[in-house]
Structure 1
Amino acid sequence: MRLQELLNNGEYEIIMRNILFRAKTIESNSKWVYELITKMCGKFNIVSLTGENTAYPIIKDTICQYTGVNDKNNIKIFDGDILEFTDNDGAKVLELVSWNKKTLSYNIYQNGNKQLPDDFTGFGQSSYRYEVVGNIYDNNTLLCYNHNNKT
């Protein structure tokens, strides 16, 4: 049976999702822009498909992908975000969201220490305990550990 026949019979469903990125513009007042990444004439850009349909030249090292999860305030969580986790006792811990190239998944790292990863799987069920408080590009002093220790 061909794929089209399976789809038409309702036996398979193709689920598509948009992949959202953000990055900082190369302008002196460098602001965050969101949407799709393109590479034009050897330079990276974020193309905003909403509104003005504009391509913004960006700083390549600030490209972050949306994880697909929102925090307790419904703020989108991106790679490179710093989260504040509140445990059952009310104690607060800062954690860094980062892509792990070895496991091909997102991990969270307490105080940004990439030697102590925690799996991001199942994170959605406890996202009500997390709040985005910054990111490693604008607020890297929030973390005790050097975020440049790549995994």
Structure 2
Amino acid sequence: MREILFRGKRVDNGEWVEGYYVCKSKDSHTSQHFIIQNFRSGSNLDGLVEFEVIPETVCQYTNFNDENGKIYEGDIINVLQDRLMKVRWDFEELTWKLFDVGIPVGEINLYYNTIDLANLYLETCYENQMISEVVGNIYDNPELLKVDKEKLKQITSRWYYG
């Protein structure tokens, strides 16, 4: 069964929380965004606790994991040990995709500059050809989005010319 989870950064302290996403309208012009978690209290009763989160940081769980934990939308993954790619939902193909970091969206050649996350996951699990690991995310590690243009040129020339 697919686990539908989200994470977001708390408004009060900036820490990441994971759970279920809820948007509540305060009035006709404003809304608050929350991540709701289950918890077990000392009396063994189940309960809920909600944390207000920064809406721009809300990311959905992809249902894929690396060796360190869950992979979320907005994560940056190191593929083949020299290719940084960010996780995004592809609305055209309705699947999670990895997009090369440092290439503007308008310049993306979908054949060379994207990888289907499910295919990467299967290749990594069964054939060990693709090495991937979450190395950060677009919110906590924006410096990873700035790629050395010379290194990117070398990597992309391998894709086009083998």
Match of 2:139 in 1: 137
Measure how far apart 1:17 and its partner are: 2.8
Match of 1:124 in 2: 121
Structure-2 change in CA distance of 1:48 and 1:111 (3 Å): same
Larger helix share, 1 or 2: 2
Q: Which runs of 4+ in 1 moved over 6 A?
A: none
Match of 1:4 in 2: none
Measure how far apart 1:59 and its partner are: 0.8
Corresponding pairs, count: 124
Match of 1:60 in 2: 55
In structure 2, the gaps of 5 or more residues are: 26-30, 42-47, 126-130, 148-162
Normalising to structure 1: TM-score of the pair?
Answer: 0.73
Match of 1:81 in 2: 75
Measure how far apart 1:49 and its partner are: 1.0
CA distances 1:31-90 after superposition (whole Å, capped 9, x unpaired): 10001011234311000113462110111111111111111x24110000001112xxxx
Identity, % of aligned pairs? 34
Structure-2 change in CA distance of 1:117 and 1:20 (3 Å): same
Match of 1:18 in 2: 3
Alignment of 1:40-119 (within 5 A): 40-41=24-25, 42-51=31-40, 53-71=48-66, 73-86=67-80, 91-113=81-103, 114=105, 115=108, 116-119=113-116
Normalising to structure 2: TM-score of the pair?
Answer: 0.68
* Backbone CA RMSD of aligned residues: 1.9
